[in-house]
């Protein structure tokens, strides 16, 4: 057996968080909502990057699960990205706070949090870092 790639991540939330999470991943991240098997046990959504459902969201927590400090075991989810300036401008225009880092040899990174506190890392080429 050999691993080929990470297929998807699953974010858990309360049912009342689904709409905010969907809106965030569509409007901020740029994913699209797509088909999800109808026979799954919990309410949820699948969010696609092209033809691949890369983020699964499952409503299996009690309302109020969202915490000021995210306490999940997953530290962050990273996306290989392009056009850092446009993305940073979009975040500023939407009043979304972000942190940034330019790691030599690893890339220019922008970090944001989703509505349930999951950290998202967007990796760009070092050459796209602001001066």
Supply the DSSP symbol for 48: E
Residue 106 is predicted with a pLDDT of: 85
CATH code: domain 1-63 is 3.10.180.10
pLDDT per residue over 16-74, tens digit each?
999 999 999 999 999 999 999 989 889 999 999 999 999 999 998 888 776 666 667 67
Delimiting residues of CATH 3.10.180.10 domain(s) in the chain: 1-63, 76-131
CATH number belonging to the domain at 76-131, selected among 3.10.180.10, 2.60.120.1140, 3.30.2130.10, 3.30.420.40 = 3.10.180.10
Average the pLDDT over 79-84 and give the result.
94
pLDDT of residue 125: 93
Confidence bin at 131 (pLDDT 50/70/90): confident
Q: 78, 87, 72, 71: which is closest to 55 by C-alpha?
A: 78
Sheet order of strands, 43-49 included: 9-13, 52-59, 43-49, 32-34
pLDDT in tens, 91-105: 999 999 999 999 888
Q: Are 112 and 79 in contact (CB under 8 A)?
A: no
Identify whether the C-beta of residue 120 lies closer than 8 Å to the C-beta of residue 96. Answer: no
Strand residue runs (E) in 35-130? 43-49, 52-59, 76-80, 99-103, 107-113, 119-124
């Amino acid at each position: 057996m050999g691993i080929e790639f990470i297929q998807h991540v699953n974010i858990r939330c309360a049912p009342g968080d689904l709409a905010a999470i969907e809106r965030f991943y569509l409007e901020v991240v740029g994913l699209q909502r797509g088909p999800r098997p109808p026979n799954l046990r919990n309410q949820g959504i699948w969010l696609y990057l092209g033809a691949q459902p890369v983020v699964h969201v499952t409503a299996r927590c009690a309302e109020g699960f969202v915490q000021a400090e995210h306490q999940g075991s997953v530290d962050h989810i990273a996306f290989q990205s392009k056009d850092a300036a446009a993305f940073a401008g979009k975040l500023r225009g939407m009043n979304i706070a972000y942190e940034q880092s330019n790691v030599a040899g690893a890339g220019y990174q922008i970090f944001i949090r989703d509505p349930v506190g999951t950290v998202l890392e967007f990796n760009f080429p070092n050459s796209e870092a602001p001066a």
